[in-house]
């Protein structure tokens, strides 16, 4: 009777050893890590860069839009007027700059030279008359007052000649460099204002920056808008991310580029695919929106998982189950 008992005990010990070894081996194997997160889609608050009266909106909430599509317009008339004024200012500044660069015309120089010759003749006559008056004064034929009048006439003619000569020299030399530089600066300022006016007119049209769906239509045509006021909210089609959290124990398994499978409640047997694009370098407390059976006060690290085959079924905030691949050994 004792021999069967011994055999039974031996069998039990062997079975226990095998079970223990199997349990130990399996405990060393990765049975797959499951995380829980939410879909994260970026949104854009669309606005005009200039203010004015909203003239039209071409889209409504729920409409799908393509990159570059016209979404709305504000009244263009004030900006068209400003553009015409800017063009006129550029034309005037350009004309002034060209005039100063070209210098004086030949006809103006010739006219000034003629004025110099006329002034020279007047001075020669006044000088000769003064000299004659000096001789008459010595013989006391004229009074001192007559001599002084002749001297004054000579000095006045000399000043007129000097002024005409200076003007001729100026015409020959052309305009001063400082005047030309000032005219050039005025032209560049007018050109910059023209470029800004063209940009302002262009900004009266609101274009979609990317493919997406209109979430919110905040205003209606006829509204007066300030620059930067939100008109539409656009949900971008791409990229689509999943925001999930991993605890410190499994942090070494969350590596950038790691391929993952993503499951939603609507298609539990047809996973999406993604890869880890970002692992937060800092720890934080688990947000209340995360669906996980672990304690919510555990410190976790945020993951951003890029969905590589996203479609329209993934919506902002949708809960997602994230599964890591199985079969990797714990380190």
Please report the pLDDT score of residue 286 as a whole number.
Answer: 61
DSSP code of residue 287: P
CA-nearest of 228, 222, 221 to 46 is 228
pLDDT means over runs of 10, the chain (331 residues): 61 67 51 81 91 95 93 96 96 90 69 81 83 78 79 86 77 73 92 96 95 92 94 88 85 85 86 87 67 57 86 82 70 46
Backbone angle region of 62, left / alpha / beta, with phi > 0 → left and psi within -120 to 50 → alpha? left
Give me the helix-helix angle, 77-102 and 177-202, nearest 10°: 160
Please report the pLDDT score of residue 188 as a whole number.
Answer: 94
**Distances 100 to 115, 187, 200 between C-alpha atoms, Å:** 23, 12, 32
Q: What predicted TM-score, i.e. pTM, was given to this entire model?
A: 0.60
- Which DSSP string corresponds to 149-185? HHHHHHHHHHHHHHHHHHHHHHHHH-S-HHHHHHHHH
Q: CB-side exposure of 119: number of CA atoms within 13 Å?
A: 20
Please report the pLDDT score of residue 296 as a whole number.
Answer: 46
Backbone angle region of 327, left / alpha / beta, with phi > 0 → left and psi within -120 to 50 → alpha? left
Nearby residues of 42 by Cβ (< 8 Å), 6 or more positions away: 235, 236, 239
DSSP code of residue 248: G
Please report the pLDDT score of residue 88 as a whole number.
Answer: 96
Please report the pLDDT score of residue 284 as a whole number.
Answer: 76
Nearby residues of 180 by Cβ (< 8 Å), 6 or more positions away: 97, 100, 101
Classify strands 319-323 and 34-47 as parallel, antiparallel or unpaired: antiparallel
288 and 257 Cβ atoms separated by less than 8 Å = no
To which residue do tokens 């553009």 refer? 83
Please report the pLDDT score of residue 230 as a whole number.
Answer: 94
């Amino acid at each position: 009777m004792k021999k069967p008992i011994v055999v039974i005990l031996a069998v039990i010990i062997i079975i226990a050893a095998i079970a223990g070894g199997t349990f130990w081996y399996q405990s060393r194997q990765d049975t797959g890590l499951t995380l829980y997160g939410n879909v994260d889609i970026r949104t854009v608050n669309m606005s005009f860069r200039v203010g004015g009266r909203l003239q039209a909106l071409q889209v409504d909430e729920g409409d799908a839009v393509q990159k570059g599509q016209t979404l709305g317009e504000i009244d263009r008339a004030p900006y068209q007027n400003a553009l015409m004024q800017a063009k006129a200012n550029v034309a005037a500044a350009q004309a002034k700059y060209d005039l100063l660069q070209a210098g004086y015309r030949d006809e103006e120089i010739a006219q000034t030279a003629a004025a110099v010759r006329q002034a020279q003749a007047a001075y020669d006559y006044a000088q000769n008359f003064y000299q004659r008056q000096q001789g008459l004064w010595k013989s006391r034929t004229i009074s001192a007052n007559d001599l002084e009048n002749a001297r004054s006439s000579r000095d006045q003619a000399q000043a007129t000649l000097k002024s005409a000569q200076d003007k001729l020299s100026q015409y020959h030399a052309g305009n001063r460099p400082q005047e030309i530089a000032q005219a050039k600066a005025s032209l560049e300022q007018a050109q910059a204002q023209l470029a800004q006016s063209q940009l302002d007119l262009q900004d009266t049209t609101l274009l979609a920056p990317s493919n997406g769906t209109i979430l919110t239509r905040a205003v209606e045509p006829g509204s007066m808008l300030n620059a930067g006021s939100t008109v539409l909210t656009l949900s971008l089609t791409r990229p689509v991310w999943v925001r999930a959290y991993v605890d410190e124990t499994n942090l070494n398994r969350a590596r950038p580029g790691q391929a993952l499978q993503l499951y939603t409640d609507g298609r539990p047997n047809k996973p999406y695919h993604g890869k880890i694009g970002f692992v937060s370098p800092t720890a934080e407390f688990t947000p209340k929106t995360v669906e996980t059976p672990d304690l919510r006060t555990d410190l976790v690290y945020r993951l951003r998982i890029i969905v590589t085959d996203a479609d329209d079924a993934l919506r902002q905030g949708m809960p997602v189950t994230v599964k890591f691949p199985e079969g990797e050994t714990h380190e």
